[in-house]
Amino acid sequence: MATVTFDKATRVYPGTERPAVDQLDLHIEDGEFLVLVGPSGCGKSTSLRMLAGLEDVNGGAILIGDRDVTDVQPKDRDIAMVFQNYALYPHMSVADNMGFALKIAGTPKAEIRQRVEEAAKILDLTEYLDRKPKALSGGQRQRVAMGRAIVRQPQVFLMDEPLSNLDAKLRVQTRTQIASLQRRLGVTTVYVTHDQTEALTMGDRIAVLSAGVLQQVGTPREMYDKPANVFVAGFIGSPAMNIGTFDVTDGKAQVGGASITLDRAVADGITPADGGRVTLGFRPESLDVVSSGSEGAFEVDVTLVEELGSDAFVYGTLKNGGDLHAGDSNQVIVRIDPRNVPDKGDTISVTIKPEQTHAFSAATGERLG
C-alpha cells in the first residue's frame, strides 16, 4: 500500500500550447478511494495515464509512496489498471486471463492458482474460471478485469471509467461492488469517471478538473455543500444546481421580482469588478413551493414535470425577468412533493430555504462568504 502524490504534474501534448493537465497538485492517502471527475477533455484520464506511466510528464513529478516514479517504466511502478474496455484475451479462460500477468512475471503455478481462486471468491467468479470471455455477460467480464488487477496485489489500483460499457442497472450494482471491494482490500485507488453520481457515491474524496486545472478536492459532502466556484457548483449534483447572475441593490439580490437578502460576508465580498452583480446558486431541494405573494417568493412558469415515483421535479422558466441556468439549460428546477405536482403551463411560487443559497463572484466565479 502507498500514498500517491502529483507534484505540479503537467502534460502538454505535441502540437498544442495549452496543457492537457496543468500543474496538478494532489495528494492521495494510503488506502484512500479518490475519484477524478470532470467533463470530457478535462484531463482526468490523462492524469491517470501519467500516473500509470502511459503518458510523459512534461513538468513536475509523480510519487508513489516516497518513490519518484516520473521516469519509471509502467511495469516497474507496482500499479494495476482496469480500463473501460475489458481488454481480455478471448482465447484464454477466465482463470488464465486473471493470472496472465503473474505468469509473465514468473510466479510459480501453485501461487498463481491460489491467488486467482482467492480473487474469484471475492468477486463471485469461482464457477466461471474455466469459461472463455465470450460466454460471460458484460458485468462478469468487468469483474474478470477487476480480478486480473487484484491478483497482482499492487500498491495502487487505477480505474479508467470501468463501468461505461454497462447498462444502467448493472452500473449501479457494480459500482457498489467496486466501492465495497476497495474498502475490503484497502488498496489506494484512483478512479476516473465523467459521471458525478458515481463520484458522489463511491469516493472517499473527489477531485474535480476542468480544462486541465484542478478546481476543488474534498469529500462528497463538502463538494455538494460548499462548492468552491461556479463550475463545481454546476457540475456536482443531479439534477444540476440552479445558477444565475443578478443585480444587487442595498445588499439584496433581485431574483425574478423577489429581493433576496445577502449575508453580510457575501455583500462585503462583492468588488467593483463584479459591476454591482452577484451569482447565486441554489439546489432544486433548496426551494419551497409557497402561496403566491409570500415574502421573498418568485414565480416559475412550469414547462415540464418529471415524476420519478419517490421524487418529482418541476422544470420551468423564471417569471418577471432574470435567467437561471441549471446545467447547460436556461431553466429553473424545483424538487416538489410527488403527490402534489402542478400541470405543464401552471405558474408556481417558490422561496429559497434559509441558509441554502450559494453566492459566487460575478467576475471570477469564486465562492463568496
Query: What 3-state DSSP class applies to 368?
Result: coil
Q: Which helix (H) or strand (E) holds 9?
A: strand 4-11
Query: Nearest Cα to 307, choosing from 338, 345, 344?
Result: 338
Domain-ending residue, one of 233, 253, 284: 233
Domain range enclosing 189: 4-233
Count Cα atoms within 13 angstroms, Cβ side, for 150. 26
Q: Which burial class, exposed, middle or buried, applies to 343 when counting CB atoms under 10 A from its CB (0-12, 13-18, 19+)?
A: exposed
- CATH number reported for the structural domain that contains residue 321 in this entry: 2.40.50.140
In this structure, the answer to whether residues 10 and 130 fall within a common structural domain is yes
62-107 pLDDT, tens digit each: 999 999 999 999 989 999 988 888 788 999 999 999 999 889 888 8
The per-residue DSSP string of 237-280 comes to: SSSPPEEEEEEEETTEEEETTEEEEPPHHHHHH--GGGTTEEEE
Mode of pairing for the β-strands spanning 33-37 and 188-193: parallel
The set of cell numbers assigned to 32 is 484512500
- pTM of the predicted protein model: 0.88
Please check whether residues 206 and 292 belong to one and the same domain: no
Is residue 366 assigned to a domain?
Answer: no
Q: Which helix (H) or strand (E) holds 46?
A: helix 44-52
pLDDT less than 50: residues of the chain: none
pLDDT, tens digit (0-9, with 9 covering 90-100), for 262-275: 888 888 899 999 89
Same domain, 116 and 31: yes
Write the pLDDT tens digit of every residue in 154-202. Answer: 899 999 988 887 778 878 888 888 888 888 888 999 999 988 888 999 9
Radius of gyration of the CA atoms of the chain, in A? 24
Number of neighbouring beta carbons within 10 Å of residue 174: 18
Instruction: Please indicate, yes or no, whether residues 46 and 114 belong to a single structural domain of this protein.
Output: yes
Q: Work out the mean pLDDT of the chain and round it to a whole number.
A: 89
Same domain, 86 and 204: yes
Within 10 angstroms of residue 347's Cβ, the number of other Cβ atoms is 12
User: Among residues of the chain, what percentage have pLDDT more than 70?
Assistant: 97
Among 177, 208, 233, which residue terminates a domain? 233
Angle, CA 32 vertex, CA 69 and CA 178 arms, to 5°: 105
| 128 φ/ψ angles, rounded to the nearest 5 degrees | -110, 5
Alpha carbons 346 and 35: distance in angstroms, whole number: 41
Q: Among residues 36, 75, 245, 258, which one has the least CA distance to residue 160?
A: 36
Domain ends where: 233, 249, 270? 233
Number of domains in the chain: 2
